[in-house]
């Protein structure tokens, strides 16, 4: 009985244990069945990247030209205008220069000649150099210019007190814009005509100029040189009224001038280098009034005449119209303003002249121009022959 009872208990315990293990196994299977689909669903919920969902790369922005890109063109336009003014003023001075005026006609008893009769024709030749420096103006970073040139002229007296002449000026200017890594050369030919009329102590003179030339520019882009070639042209006129007053061998000659110059440069297209640009042409129109006087004295020795003179002028640029330039680089474009002179300024100079005879004269001139942002110094060596 006892053995039978133990055996029954043992079987009951074993059955209970079997039930527990069976239930544990069933629970484990159910957990695995639930967990695996949930994990698969979680993985399936994460979308896989496809080619259609990739973003298109953003293209790099197009390069834009900077205002300093054409500093050399702005400098060339200003150079052209100033060279036209210089030639006009030298032509005007052919008619009103005090010593030459006294040589043609002596209205008050002073000067180098006592007669109105003299050589009818004259020819002159000159060699000159100009050094100019511009300081910063807005987007223009400043420049340095060196000009070398020569002049040949022929004049004649067509009636007592009436003189006419023609002249040709050929020059080359080297322009350097170091802060913008740019340079340029301007080859310019100018053809001029002048006339003067003497009436007693008064002289009225007029000069006209037409010029044309070529500009070659270079710009260091860091990846080669961008170069361009374009044309240049100018027209101008000057009228001057002067009064000759003398005492013994000294003189004072007050003068008033009106000058107009229009200069233009053509459009340009750079080639070579990195990001070559295009630019439209520019024009500069300037009208100004100059008021001043010349003083001088001459000495006679050994049948030669030595003359010294100096002058000063107040300059008022009453009108300056400077066009803007459109600079294009691909689809991008900007507008850049050209450069001009300050409204007010001064001119000053001196001359030494040696007449070797009644027909041959040598002379040396200095001419300085002083503006707020510009200074120019010119030296001229010349010879005049009369017959």
| DSSP single-letter state for residue 244 | -
- Quick one: pLDDT at residue 62? 74
**pLDDT over 80 (residue 40):** no
Contact (CB, 8 A) for 1 and 9: no
- Quick one: pLDDT at residue 135? 95
Q: Residue 126 and residue 385: Cα distance in Å, rounded? A: 12
At 4, the pLDDT band (50, 70, 90 cuts) reads very low
Strands (E), the chain: 121-134, 143-159, 162-177, 182-199, 202-220, 225-243, 245-247, 250-265, 268-269, 278-279, 282-301, 304-322, 324-329, 332-337, 344-355, 360-370, 374-386
Contact (CB, 8 A) for 315 and 348: no
Q: Residue 157 and residue 155: Cα distance in Å, rounded? A: 7
Contacts by 332-338, CB closer than 8 A, 24 or more apart: 332/62, 332/63, 332/64, 332/65, 333/65, 334/64, 334/65, 334/66, 334/67, 336/67, 336/69, 336/70, 336/74, 336/139, 337/138, 337/139, 338/74, 338/77, 338/78, 338/282, 338/284
Pick the more confident residue, 21 or 203: 203
- Quick one: pLDDT at residue 254? 97
| Gyration radius of the chain's alpha carbons | 44
At 6, the pLDDT band (50, 70, 90 cuts) reads very low
How much of the chain, in percent, has pLDDT values that exceed 90? 75
**What is the per-residue pLDDT across 47-94, written as a single tens digit (0 to 9) for each?**
555 544 556 666 667 788 999 999 999 999 999 999 999 999 999 988
Pick the more confident residue, 310 or 31: 310
At 175, the pLDDT band (50, 70, 90 cuts) reads very high
Q: What are phi and psi of 130, to 5 degrees?
A: -130, 135
- pTM value is 0.81
Provide the pairing of β-strand 332-337 with 344-355. Answer: unpaired
Contact (CB, 8 A) for 74 and 180: no
Q: State which H helix or E strand residue 135 sits in.
A: none
Q: What are phi and psi of 12, to 5 degrees?
A: -65, -45
- Quick one: pLDDT at residue 282? 94
DSSP, collapsed to helix, strand or coil, labels residue 280 as: coil
């Amino acid at each position: 009985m006892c053995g039978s009872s133990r055996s029954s208990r043992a079987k009951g315990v074993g059955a209970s244990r079997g039930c527990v293990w069976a239930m544990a196994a069933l629970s484990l299977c159910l957990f695995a069945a639930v967990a695996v689909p949930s994990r698969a669903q979680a993985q399936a919920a994460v979308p896989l990247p496809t080619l259609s969902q990739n973003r298109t790369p953003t293209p790099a922005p197009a390069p834009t030209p900077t205002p300093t890109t054409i500093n050399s063109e702005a400098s060339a336009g200003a150079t052209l205008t100033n060279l036209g003014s210089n030639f006009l003023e030298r032509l005007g001075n052919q008619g009103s220069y005090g010593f030459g005026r006294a040589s043609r006609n002596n209205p008050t008893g002073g000067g180098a000649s006592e007669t109105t009769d003299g050589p009818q024709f004259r020819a002159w030749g000159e060699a000159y150099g100009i050094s100019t420096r511009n300081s910063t103006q807005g987007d223009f970073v400043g420049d340095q210019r060196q000009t070398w040139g020569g002049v040949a002229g022929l004049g004649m007296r067509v009636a007592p007190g009436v003189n006419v002449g023609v002249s040709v000026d050929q020059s080359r200017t080297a322009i350097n814009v170091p802060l913008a890594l740019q340079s340029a050369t301007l080859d310019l030919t100018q053809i001029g005509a002048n006339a003067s009329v003497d009436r007693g102590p008064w002289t009225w003179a007029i000069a006209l100029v037409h010029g044309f030339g070529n500009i070659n520019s270079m710009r260091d882009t860091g990846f080669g040189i961008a170069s361009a070639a374009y044309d240049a042209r100018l027209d101008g006129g000057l009228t001057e009224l002067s009064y000759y007053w003398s005492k013994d061998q000294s003189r004072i000659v007050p003068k008033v001038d009106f000058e107009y110059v229009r200069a233009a440069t053509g459009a340009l297209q750079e080639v070579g280098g990195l990001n070559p640009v295009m630019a439209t042409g520019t024009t500069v129109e300037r009208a100004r009034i100059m008021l001043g006087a010349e003083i001088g004295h001459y000495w006679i020795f050994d049948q030669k005449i030595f003359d010294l003179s100096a002058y000063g002028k107040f300059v008022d640029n009453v009108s300056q119209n400077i066009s803007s330039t459109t600079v294009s680089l691909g689809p991008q474009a900007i507008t850049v303003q050209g450069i001009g002179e300050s409204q007010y300024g001064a001119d000053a100079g001196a001359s030494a002249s040696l007449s070797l005879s009644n027909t041959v004269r040598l002379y040396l001139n200095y001419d300085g121009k002083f503006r707020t942002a510009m200074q120019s110094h010119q030296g001229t060596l010349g010879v005049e022959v009369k017959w």
